[in-house]
Structure 1
């Protein structure tokens, strides 16, 4: 189970639905990360949520958060990792692994080459729009689109992508329940590990996602529910531990 810390402007934010307008939270990201560590987290999902045009991503803040905690950190930069130089900056923050975000998906050929070079240290964030016309991978900006889900998966699977963070962006930050069908479908389409995100509201939601472990879901990301005190991190860990592989907790 991965507690999430989303950061923009040096503060914790919530990304709601397509995340175009992050909601600020009166929380310092270092304090949030340390609190999750104290409560028993072994992994942290850190998202640098700056939008396109705001100078890429805040590598200094990412480095400060990662350097403060003693647990493993999975970093995702929403917009700023788009070429070899910015990829090197992200990897140099000290993160244990990095997920390529929406900005990266604008160039799938570059993503595939980066994955082929860096192996299991790189994964990909797949923000999925569930539309009447099918499943689309969202891009940056209002209405941004990176392609049909199956097409994106074929390119990245061929490169050997180790894992995907899969989010139904229509449920992100809404506390409306996870899209279990989407997670199941992505697992059926790829041999890579799937980390489920978006909409988790209750401990029963966590148990339902964890029950998908035999199908390929190897972890779940939880953000807003923890900040809203819907449950505690120790309760979440206890809810997931009976279902998830030990390495995913």
Structure 2
């Protein structure tokens, strides 16, 4: 676990910084109290959250079983690195199993960190299944040519990962050009300076969470995958307050990731649907057989608040 202060221990979250263009987009939503310094210190409590953030329920809540791949085999993300999956090692077989169990979407993550990504393996997985695939490349998508290569795998949509976020201007340009087909992964790390978007190298970051959101929202980003990096593959429970906090500061859809360990965790995430959370990514809990994918799908099919 990250030892820097976090909301659970401090009870407070600095409100992310705003700009006028984002405020206009969110005119129907609550505007946080921001002092002249540009940084507010508000509790991450229910009292600070609007009831619906002007969104309402956007439709079906989607469960995304996750397949993370490095070196051609299935792995699990652990903060800035990954560990091998000991049983279900073949990414194609794993993806097909999730499809057979009822998945309608697959979250496929290429975790290579050697400056590129394994487009061949990504393409094999995508070609093997008949369901929609949301691809995320942790590294290697940093310019127009590599973006075209990633989109060329046949994925339904692509999430820009840590490597892409090193150049926010390029990310914004790509999002403006490709629209709904592009989303962004926001791996959040809590520090003494507030929430930061984690970078590709251990300890590095791409900037303040609020600053990153403002740039990408202005470009029209359609969705964010949001995770507390300290909870990835940790089976320690989802960071619900983080998901709500991001929802109150962006008009984009949010997909919740990291920490799901039980069906109750999943139920709690579905209650955030009126705030703008449209789905949840589930990885290690399925591999550890904490519950099954059919059980997860049945859980989110029930009415949620």
Q: Determine which of 67, 83, 86 is the counterpart of 1:25.
A: 86
Q: Please state whether the residue corresponding to 2:280 is helix, strand or coil.
A: strand
Aligned match of 1:15: 77
Q: Determine which of 208, 227, 239 is the counterpart of 1:167.
A: 227
Aligned match of 1:50: 112
Aligned match of 1:143: 203
Output aligned runs, 1:99-118, within 5 Å: 99-118=159-178
Q: 1:78 to 1:244 in 2, by over 3 A?
A: farther
Shift of 1:178: 0.2
| TM-score after normalising by structure 1 | 0.95
| Distance of 1:244 and 1:40 partners within structure 2 | 20
| Distance of 1:200 and 1:133 partners within structure 2 | 26
- Give RMSD over aligned pairs: 1.2
Structure 1: gaps (5+ residues) = none
Q: Please state whether the residue corresponding to 1:166 is helix, strand or coil.
A: strand
| Distance of 1:157 and 1:33 partners within structure 2 | 32
Q: Determine which of 177, 188, 200 is the counterpart of 2:248.
A: 188
Correspondence 1:119 to 2:179 = yes
Q: Is the 8 A contact 2:236 2:259 kept in 1?
A: yes
| Distance of 1:215 and 1:166 partners within structure 2 | 14
| TM-score after normalising by structure 2 | 0.78
Aligned match of 1:62: 122
Q: Is the 8 A contact 2:158 2:181 kept in 1?
A: yes
| Distance of 1:133 and 1:113 partners within structure 2 | 28
Q: Is the 8 A contact 1:183 1:196 kept in 2?
A: yes
Structure 2: gaps (5+ residues) = 1-62
Output aligned runs, 1:88-107, within 5 Å: 88-107=148-167
Q: Please state whether the residue corresponding to 1:177 is helix, strand or coil.
A: coil
Q: Please state whether the residue corresponding to 1:201 is helix, strand or coil.
A: coil
| Distance of 2:83 and 2:129 partners within structure 1 | 24
Correspondence 1:213 to 2:273 = yes
Q: Is the 8 A contact 2:108 2:136 kept in 1?
A: yes
Q: Please state whether the residue corresponding to 1:87 is helix, strand or coil.
A: helix
Aligned match of 1:87: 147
Q: 1:113 to 1:244 in 2, by over 3 A?
A: farther
Shift of 1:244: 6.4
Q: Is the 8 A contact 1:197 1:221 kept in 2?
A: yes
Q: Is the 8 A contact 2:66 2:282 kept in 1?
A: yes
| Higher RCO structure, 1 or 2 (CA under 8 Å, sep 6+) | 2
Shift of 1:80: 1.0
Correspondence 1:36 to 2:105 = no
Q: Please state whether the residue corresponding to 1:22 is helix, strand or coil.
A: strand
Q: Is the 8 A contact 1:166 1:183 kept in 2?
A: yes
Q: Is the 8 A contact 1:219 1:244 kept in 2?
A: no
